[in-house]
Each structure stands twice: as structure tokens, then as C-alpha cells.
Structure 1
Amino acid sequence: MKREGRFAIFVAWVLLILAFPRPFVPPALAVAVAGSSLSDDDSPPLPYEREEFPDWARDLRRGEIVAIGSFPLAVILSGIGLQLGRFAVKSLEEGQFSQEYAPFFFSTRTGSQYNQEERVGLLISAGIISVGVAVADYILGRRERKAAAARRE
């Protein structure tokens, strides 16, 4: 049943792709676009000016970049924290060190795998940590800008 279902999905995708032709570009538009790139007065693009975007938009973009950039590290740290916490709880329940739940750096084996609930908790905690890093970056940056403005005055 699974194999037949996968094949049916594959066939549906192939038919969907073949049913719609490639995007049509009118010849007049193609000539206009090609002609505009061949003009003699081409100038290199200018960098953005500080006044082009409001401060809140720049802060939001920086926060997005920091949050997305810190997410992989937050996943690693959350995973280590989850493994240590699970090891401590299971060891206390058994009254001795639980070799089955030992974190990867304490165990000779790979340890027990995460269940679905633990995976979701891991990703949620990593998201919270990465958003926290972005908020901390925003607060520190705002404080730094205020101090720089006070020094200029």
C-alpha cells in the first residue's frame, strides 16, 4: 500500500509538471528587459542610505538575522541540556546512574533516542533561546546607540 501510494504521488507530480507549460514571456517584454540592460548610461547600484529605512525596520531585520543565526547553536545547547536533565531524572528514579540515558559524552553507546514529545520540546526551547539572544542583542544595541548619542552631545 505504501509503495503504491508513493508511486501515485510521483505520477501526480509528473502530470502536474507536464500539464503546465513553462512561463510565457511576451516578446515585447523580453526585448524591453534586454534593451534596458544594454543601455550606455548604466551605473553601478548605490548602497542603501541610512534614511531609506526606518530604525524599527533595521532593528527587526537585525533581530531576524541574529535569531536565525543563533538557532543551530541553540539546538545543540538545548540537546545537551535535555540529555543531562533526562539523565539526572532517570538516575534519581532508579537510585543509581542510568547508563541507558547517559548523554553521548558519558556513554559508551549512543544513548536512548528522543521521542516525539522531546523533539518538539527541544525545538521549542531552541526557538525560545534564539529569540532571547535576539532580544538581548536588541537591548544591548539600543543601549550602545543611546550612549553614543549622549557622547556626541
Structure 2
Amino acid sequence: MKSRIIAFVLLVSFTSMACFGQETDIPAPYRPDEFPQWTLDLRRAEIVTFGSFPLSFMVTALVYDLTYLAIDSYNYNNDSNLYDRASFASHRTQDDITRLLLISGGVSLTIGLADFIINKVKQKKAEREKQELNEQRNNNRNSTGDSETEN
């Protein structure tokens, strides 16, 4: 009896999905003017910032470990156990890891901010060039229109 009820519920569920399912209309693609420019710029800066974090963390950790190794080798100048102690990341404490995360986060934020500024400068330059081109076109139209009326 239970198997019949389960089979009936499954049959009703599957057939109702086919009958009352959503239509397969494809949504319209985004228009170029659908989002303000500042949101696009902010999204780009966010992507660059979070995308550069893994690389900046690896570089920061490498520089930190090499600095630790250099200081350790300076303190123990002729010690033969130097290379036994030089295993990377074995000396890190929780404070060191927090420091590495903060430094690499700052580096990533700087990279994102630099990309944002560079992108803004390029946009302003392109707008200025476009405006100058439009002014030149208008001047050319006016000068050809004046010469035609003079003849």
C-alpha cells in the first residue's frame, strides 16, 4: 500500500513539473547603459583586488621567510645547523600569520586602487579625445558650410 502511495506522489510530482514549469524564455542580455559606470568601475576594482590577493599573499610570505632566514643567518654566523632551522613557515606563530594576511591585504588593496586610478585616467583621456574629435568635426562642417554659402 505504501509503495502505491509513494508511486502516486512521484507520478503527480513529475507530471506537475512538466505541466506547470517555467517557460523557456531566454532573458535579454544586458544593455550597455543598464548599469552606471561607477558600478562597473567598482566591480572591476573588486575583482582585481580579490584576484591579486593569493599572489600577494605568496609573495609576502616568501619575502617574510627570506627576511627571517637572513636575520637568522646573521645572528648565527658560522652555525652548521643553520640549514636545519631554515625550513620555511615552521617558525610562524598566529601573530605572524595575522601580520602576513594584513600586509598582503594591503598590497592587494593597493593594486586594486592603482588599477582603478589607471582605468579612470584612461576613461578621461578617451572622453577628452572623443570630445576633441567631435569639435573638429563640427568645425570642419561649419567651415565647409561657410565656404559654400560664400560662393
> What is the TM-score normalised by the length of structure 2?
0.63
1:135 aligned residue: 113
Q: Tell me if structure 1 keeps the 8 A contact 2:65–2:89.
A: no
CA displacement at 1:151 relative to structure 2? 1.6
Count of residue correspondences:
113
Q: Which protein is bigger by CA-based radius of gyration?
A: 2
C-alpha RMSD of matched pairs (Å): 2.5
- Amino-acid identity (%): 30
- Structure 2 residue 22 is the aligned partner of structure 1 residue 37: yes
* Corresponding residue number in structure 1 for 2:64: 82
Q: Cα deviation per residue 1:47-80 (whole Å; 9 max; x = unaligned)? A: 2223222222111111111111111111110111
Contact 2:65 2:88 in 1 (8 A): no
**Bigger mean CA offset, 109-118 vs 126-135:** 109-118
What corresponds to 2:11 in structure 1? Answer: none
Aligned pair in 2 of structure 1 residues 61, 101: CA closer, same or farther (>3 Å)? Answer: farther
Could you tell me which of 86, 95, 103 is aligned with 1:125?
103
User: What letter is aligned with 2:54?
Assistant: P
Segments of 5+ residues of structure 1 without an aligned counterpart are 1-30, 103-108
Give the Cα–Cα distance (whole angstroms) in 2 for the partners of residues 57 and 111 of structure 1: 40
Q: 1:75 to 1:52 in 2, by over 3 A?
A: same
Letter in structure 1 aligned against 2:115: D
SS of 2:33's equivalent in the other structure is helix
Cα distance in 2 for residues equivalent to 1:50 and 1:89: 55
What runs of 5+ residues in structure 2 fail to find an aligned partner? 1-15, 132-151
The structure with the greater share of residues assigned to helix is 2
Determine if contact 1:101/1:111 at 8 Å carries over to the other structure: no
Structure 2 counterpart SS, 1:53: coil
Of residues 120, 127, 134, the one that matches 1:149 is 127
Quote the offset at 1:36 in angstroms.
6.6
Deviant stretches of 4+, over 6 Å: none
